[in-house]
Amino acid sequence: MAKDHRQAKQITMTDALWDQLEELGVELEYRDKRGAHSPLVREMVSAAMTKWRKSPYVCRSARHLVFVTREGHVFYRMIQVLKLNSSREKLPCILEMKPEKRRDFLRGPMGRVEEAEFFRSLWLVNYFAVWLGHEMSGPPRSSWVDRQGTYAKAADLPVDQGRGRFLVRETLVGLQDYVQWQEEERGDDRVDLPIDIPTRNLEVVVIVDSDLYRKASLAPEELPNLELEFRNREGARFEGLEVALDPENPIEFSAGKFLGEETTASRVEPLLGLLRELEERLDAVAQATADNGLVLAEDGRKRIRAAFQFPERFLFYKLEWPSPHFGLEVCVRWEKPPRVG
pLDDT, mean of residues 328-334: 96
Q: Is residue 35 part of a domain?
A: no
Q: Is residue 75 part of a domain?
A: yes
Each residue of 120-175: pLDDT tens digit? 999 999 999 999 999 999 999 999 999 999 999 999 999 999 999 999 999 999 99
Give the H or E element holding residue 71: none
Regarding beta strands 88-96 and 152-161, do their DSSP bridges make them parallel or antiparallel, or are they unpaired? antiparallel
Rounded to whole angstroms, the Cα distance separating 226 from 208 reads 9
* Total number of residues shown for the chain: 341
Which pLDDT score is estimated for 34? Answer: 58
Which pLDDT score is estimated for 175? Answer: 96
Residue 337 DSSP one-character state: P
Q: Is residue 20 part of a domain?
A: no
CA angle 92, 93, 94 (to 5 degrees): 130
| Structural domains in the chain (count) | 1
**pLDDT band at residue 24 using 50, 70 and 90 as cut-offs:** confident
Point out the least confidently predicted range of 32-46, 267-281, 290-304, 322-336: 32-46
Q: Which of 331, 324, 332, 330 minimizes the C-alpha distance to 61? A: 324
**pLDDT band at residue 220 using 50, 70 and 90 as cut-offs:** confident
The answer for 35, left when phi > 0, alpha when psi is -120 to 50, beta otherwise, is: left
Across the chain, what does the average pLDDT equal? Answer: 90
pLDDT, mean of residues 25-51: 76
200 to 61, 102, 185, 244, 321: CA distances (angstroms): 5, 31, 39, 14, 8
pTM: 0.91
pLDDT, mean of residues 177-194: 90
Which residues have C-beta within 8 Å of that of residue 250, sequence separation ≥ 6?
Answer: 322
Q: Is residue 85 part of a domain?
A: yes
Per-range mean pLDDT, top range of 43-52, 81-90, 243-252: 81-90
Which pLDDT score is estimated for 202? Answer: 98
58 to 166, 167, 226, 321, 330: CA distances (angstroms): 10, 10, 29, 16, 18
For residue 49, pLDDT over 60 is answered with yes
Each residue of 221-240: b (16+ CB within 10 Å) or e? eebeebbbbbbeeeeeeeee
Give the range of the structural domain holding residue 261, as residue numbers without chain letter: 54-335
Q: Residues of the chain with pLDDT > 90: what percent? A: 67
Q: Is residue 26 part of a domain?
A: no
**Residue 318's Cα: distance from chain center in Å?**
12
Q: Is residue 188 part of a domain?
A: yes
**pLDDT band at residue 1 using 50, 70 and 90 as cut-offs:** very low
Which residues have C-beta within 8 Å of that of residue 82, sequence separation ≥ 6?
Answer: 57, 58, 59, 60, 91, 166, 167, 168, 169
Rounded to whole angstroms, the Cα distance separating 207 from 198 reads 26
Q: Is residue 115 part of a domain?
A: yes
Q: Is residue 41 part of a domain?
A: no
**pLDDT band at residue 32 using 50, 70 and 90 as cut-offs:** low
**pLDDT band at residue 221 using 50, 70 and 90 as cut-offs:** confident
**pLDDT band at residue 265 using 50, 70 and 90 as cut-offs:** low
Which pLDDT score is estimated for 35? Answer: 58
**Residue 273's Cα: distance from chain center in Å?**
19
